[in-house]
Amino acid sequence: MAALGLGAMALPGAGRVAAADDKPVVFTWAGWDEPALYEPYAAKHGEGPEFTFFGDLTEAFIKMRGGFTPDLVELGAAEVKKFYDAGLLDPIDPARLPDWDNFYEPLKFLDTNWHDGELYCMPTMFGGTSVLYREDLVEVEEETWAMLWDERYAGKICPSDWSIEAILPIGIALGVANPFAMTDDELVEVEKILVKQKELARFYWGNPTEMENALATGEVTIAYAWSESGARTSGAEVPIRYARPKEGRIVTVDGLAIVKGHQAPLDMLYDYIAARTATSTGVYTLTEFGMINPNSKVLDLVPEGAITALGADNIQNTLDSGWFWAAIEPGIEEKYENLFVEVKAES
């Protein structure tokens, strides 16, 4: 989901970027400084915060461990424990957010965001990765992750080129207990489907725009996709549907964390977090990013067409049946990567 942003990336050194001590510094992905994401904050304070950018969360972690101290950092839920264990985060008091009571319940108490009874990352948006397909060219009795290796569509399937995203849907479709930590025996079964999928695939996508264009032209008819692709293709001239697999979508959650040692006043930090979870911000993130605000009141303000295009007409079902992206141990991630690379390399 970090690929949403476009713009110049600044690499901060140790210490604090040049900003007034009372002006928050937000460490985030390039492009996430879009004013529409924090309008209520700017309206209250007369201007937005300062922003500095990372390329990925590994870079962010290294910079902060090295002494760079922003006030807020944008995190994926699966990364929160890593930053918490390193002593980089302060707890967040949810009672200070005016919209907390309107948050979807599963997001309030997401295990990855809570440690020792305290909240360390406030959800700001979430999305469900799924299958994107051409309704006019694909015959579907039941939406399922197995569409990504359906033999009827040989040469028309487009999986993700990232090992984790290629492997997780297979594990979920196989019914494993924990797709984020599969056993060696489970990976043997995953490998069989990876081999089959390779034979059926048109190409593996690394750039979502390439995949979206291929769907629009009919070069491919079924693809693994992020929710932002569901949003971008919702207005296409051809019918493209963002599926709700029977096994559940994979749910990714982004949020904001308060950095230990921050210099900006806490009131301003909470104002910025509140702005990111406001209903007005939620309308923008859903219609432009395909990401859903944790504030349940957002859907009252979003055009019905945008809601149905993303399959967001039953968010509670997505949250209740979805697989929340969890932290993957380095050893497990290495196994996934090696397996995927080996299958792709086989002639």
pLDDT in tens, 315-330: 777 788 889 998 898 8
Question: Region 286-306: what's the mean pLDDT?
Answer: 79
The confidence band for 286, taking pLDDT boundaries of 50, 70 and 90, is confident
- Work out the number of other CB atoms within 10 angstroms of the CB of residue 274: 20
* pLDDT score for 309: 59
Helix (H, G, I), strand (E, B) or coil at 244: coil
Residue 235 pLDDT: 77
For residue 118, give the DSSP letter.
E
Higher pLDDT, 286 or 295: 295
**Is pLDDT above 70 for 5?**
no
Find the radius of gyration of the CA atoms of the chain: 20
Contact indicator for 260, 67 with CB cutoff of 8 Å: no
- The pLDDT score that the predictor gives to residue 6 is 30
Contact 26, 72 (CB under 8 A): yes
159's tokens: 């999986």
Mean pLDDT across 45-54:
96
Task: Report DSSP state, residue 286.
Answer: I
Per-residue model confidence as pLDDT tens digits over 18-32 = 455 689 999 999 888
Q: What is the DSSP string of 311-328?
A: TGGGHHHHHHHSEE----
What the chain holds in terms of domains, given with CATH numbers, is 2-126+251-313 (3.40.190.10), 127-249+326-345 (3.40.190.10)
The owner of tokens 């990372």 is 54
Which range, of 11-15, 245-249, 317-321, averages the lowest pLDDT? 11-15
**pLDDT band at residue 16 under the 50/70/90 scheme:** low
* SS3 call for 233: coil
Region of residue 87 (left: phi > 0; alpha: psi -120 to 50; beta: else)? left
Whole-angstrom distance, CA of residue 126 vs CA of residue 294: 7
> What share of the chain has pLDDT > 90, as a percent?
72
How many C-beta atoms lie closer than 10 Å to residue 198's C-beta? 17
Report how far residue 347's alpha carbon sits from residue 343's, in angstroms, rounded to the nearest whole number: 9
Mean pLDDT for all residues in the chain: 89
- Kindly report, residue by residue over 137-169, the tens digit of the pLDDT: 999 999 999 999 999 999 999 999 999 999 999
Q: Are 133 and 222 in contact (CB under 8 A)?
A: yes
The predicted pLDDT at position 190 comes to 98
Q: What is the mean pLDDT of residues 26-49?
A: 95
pLDDT in the model for residue 303 = 72
For residues 86 and 43, is the Cβ–Cβ distance under 8 A?
A: no
- CA distances (Å), 298 to each of 231, 278, 287, 320, 334, in order? 16, 8, 11, 19, 39
- Tell me the β-bridge partners of 115: 118
b/e per residue 56-73 (b: at least 16 CB within 10 A): ebeebbebbeeebbbbbb
Tokens of 41: 């904050």
Q: Per-residue pLDDT tens for 177-207?
A: 999 999 999 999 999 999 999 999 999 999 9
Of 123-132, 248-257, 291-300, 327-336, the poorest mean pLDDT is in 291-300
* CB neighbour list of residue 188: distance below 8 Å, 6 or more residues apart: none
* Rounded-to-5 percentages of helix, strand, coil across the chain: 45, 20, 35
pLDDT at position 73: 98
Q: Kindly tell me if the per-residue pLDDT of 97 is higher than 80.
A: yes
| pLDDT confidence band for 243 (50 / 70 / 90) | very high
Separation of alpha carbons 131 and 225, rounded Å? 6
In this prediction, residue 20 carries a pLDDT of: 58
